[in-house]
Every structure is written in C-alpha cells, then in structure tokens.
Amino acid sequence: MGAGAASGAGKAKRMPRAVREQQMLDAAVRIFGRRGYRAASMDEIAEVAGVSKPLVYLYLNSKEELFTAVIRREARALVSAVRAGAEPKAPADARLWAGLRAFFLHTAENPDGWSVLHRQARTHGEPFAAEVTVMREEMVAFVTLLIAAAAREAHSSEPELASRDVGGLAQALVGAAESLADWANATEGVSAKEAAATLMNFAWVGLGKLREGERWMPGGMPGGMLGG
C-alpha cells in the first residue's frame, strides 16, 4: 500500500478515480464483448470490476455512456496499434504490411475488444454504430492513402485508378481484413502473421495488375485472365 499502484483484480479499496475507471472499462469490455450490449448486465460488470453498482453509475453515468466509453477506448487502441506499426517513411507496401500485421495481432490479443468493435457496436442502434463508423473510416482512409501512395511510388504512365474504384477497393480490403480477423480468432492454428500474409498477397498482387489496366468483364475475354 505504500508506493506503486495496485494492479490486478485485488480487492483494494479507495483508489484514485482514474484507476477505478479503467478497471470498470476492463470489466465492461469483457462483458460487453462476450454477452453483447443488451445481454450484458450492469450487475455483472460491477461485480467483475470489483465495485458496487452505484460507483459505476457515479463514474460512467449510464449503460449507454459506459458502452460508448468502451467503444472509444477500444477503437483508439486499435487505430493506435495499426498506426504504430507503419513507419511513415517506408514504402507503401511495407506500411500496408506492417499495418495488417499489427491489426491481426491486436485483434488476436484483444478478442473481447475486437468483438465489441466489430460485432456488438455495429449491431446495436445508432448511438454506437456511428462511433465505430468513425474508426472504420479512419482505417479505410489509411488504406486509401496507401493505395494512392503506391501509385505515386510506381510513377507509372498508366491512368490513375478512378477514385471510386479506390474507395471500393479499400472497403473490400478492410472488410476482408475484418473477416479474416474473425477467422483467425476462431480457427485453431491460424496465426496473425499468416492471415496478414494471405491478405497482403491477394491485395497487393491484384492491386498491381489493376493498375496495369487489366480488368475482368462480363462475357470476358476468351481465355480469360486465368489463361497462361
């Protein structure tokens, strides 16, 4: 009780607000992530946090605000993780690779937080979905940026990819990443690195060819793009 903050789930009483708040958010992430917003009960959250219910209300006001706080904290953590991986001066492909690795690693290490962001928050009405949308747009913007950077680095003579195409591609990439994160979390023996590699290969190679002007078209060129 002298110097040093208590950490862990001990039954320490009378600790500073900031610490208590984090304990509550930790508990909330866990419960919300596992049970979902509606099924999570303030009772259980308070119990897991090791405090009384009124204290949760004193600090976080309501279930809705608590959930929002959780979403924000987790979103910030994920975005930070992804950003932290990418050195600003590295080439675009290296940055994408680093970002993907960080993404899969973070989601694998924080399954409850990932569940809150990817499943729960988007599943329950407007106050929350918006919160995640903001984060997702940051992600999409990040990827869009990298695609553009890649194009610049290639200083190719081919026409730019239309910005609408870029938007769709970024969406698809982020969606694929999200889906793979779930898959990696659920599938025994699929590591974050493998998931990242799978996606990177797929994305980068396809992206390159697209830039070279190849397209698939209904009716297709005979022999198709698969032909040798």
Binding site for DNA (CB under 7 A): 13-17, 20, 40-43, 51-55, 57-58, 61-64
Specify the residue, 81 or 176, whose C-beta has the smaller distance to its own copies. 176
What is residue 2's DSSP assignment? -
CA 219/CA 228 separation, integer angstroms:
19
Among its own copies, DNA, none, partner that 192 touches (CB below 5 to 8 angstroms by kind): none
Size of the site for its own copies (CB under 8 A): 68
What is the smallest separation between the CB atom of 180 and its own copies, expressed in angstroms?
6
What is the smallest separation between the CB atom of 12 and DNA, expressed in angstroms?
8
Among DNA, its own copies, none, partner that 156 touches (CB below 5 to 8 angstroms by kind): its own copies
Q: Does 145 bind its own copies (CB under 8 A)?
A: no
Q: 108: exposed, middle or buried (C-beta count within 10 Å: 0-12, 13-18, 19+)?
A: middle
User: For residue 146, what are the CA distances in angstroms to 15, 92, 140, 160, 171?
Assistant: 44, 6, 10, 14, 13
> What's the one-letter identity of residue 25?
L
Token pair, residue 28, equals: 């909330």
Specify the residue, 9 or 84, whose C-beta has the smaller distance to its own copies. 84
Evaluate the CA torsion angle 59, 65, 67, 72 in order and state its sign.
Answer: negative
Q: Which of 35, 53, 72, 83 binds its own copies (CB under 8 A)?
A: 35
Q: Does 202 bind its own copies (CB under 8 A)?
A: yes
Token pair, residue 15, equals: 């600790």
Among its own copies, DNA, none, partner that 210 touches (CB below 5 to 8 angstroms by kind): its own copies
Q: Does 156 bind its own copies (CB under 8 A)?
A: yes
What is the end-to-end Cα distance of the chain in Å, rounded? 72
CA 147/CA 224 separation, integer angstroms:
26
Interface positions with its own copies (CB under 8 A): 35-39, 91-94, 97, 119-120, 122-125, 150-151, 153-158, 165, 168-169, 171-180, 182-183, 190, 194-195, 198-212, 214-216, 218, 220, 223-228
